[in-house]
Amino acid sequence: MSAARAFLSLGSNLGDKQQYLRDAIFELSSDVTVLGVSRLYETAPVGGVVQDDFLNVVIEIDTVLSPLELLDRCQALESQANRVRLVRFGPRTLDVDILLYGDSAIDSERLTIPHPRMFERKFVLQPLSDLAPELVPEELLLAALGDVVAIGML
């Protein structure tokens, strides 16, 4: 299998948020080539329960992992960060979502690519536009939900 260009969204709003994000990128780099990391954004939660703000980044990678293998790796990273899934859209130590995987369109029980809500969420689109502005139409960025503030680099 040849390498595919993919984009992942990483977020955290519990504990040492920056460290969870750094650790996930470091651990992932043993399986993929990290091509870029967006600016770090502080973002208000969208939907779900009342909770602390998130820190979010998007990373661009090259990978020979299949989409499902990459999903398994992302879920393993969440488990390593002791993520607990008690409430949908609730607080979490680490959330890792596959946004895009090459030109793939997948709609299965386990995985949907492109990510089904990515174009509704400013905390995804703003950091994605840092890395690949050609993938984020201005009108979608303006219409996306959520408040995001760039706070530097990870």
Residue 83 among the catalytic residues:
yes
5: annotated active-site residue = no
Q: Which of 73, 97, 110, 147 is catalytic?
A: 97
Annotated active-site residue 92? The verdict is yes
3-class secondary structure, 54:
strand
121 neighbors 96 (Cβ within 8 angstroms): no
Catalytic entry in 83, 117, 121, 130: 83
Known catalytic residue at 16? no
Write down the catalytic residue from 23, 92, 110, 117: 92
5, 39, 88, 95: which is the annotated catalytic residue?
95
Give catalytic residue positions. 83, 92, 95, 97
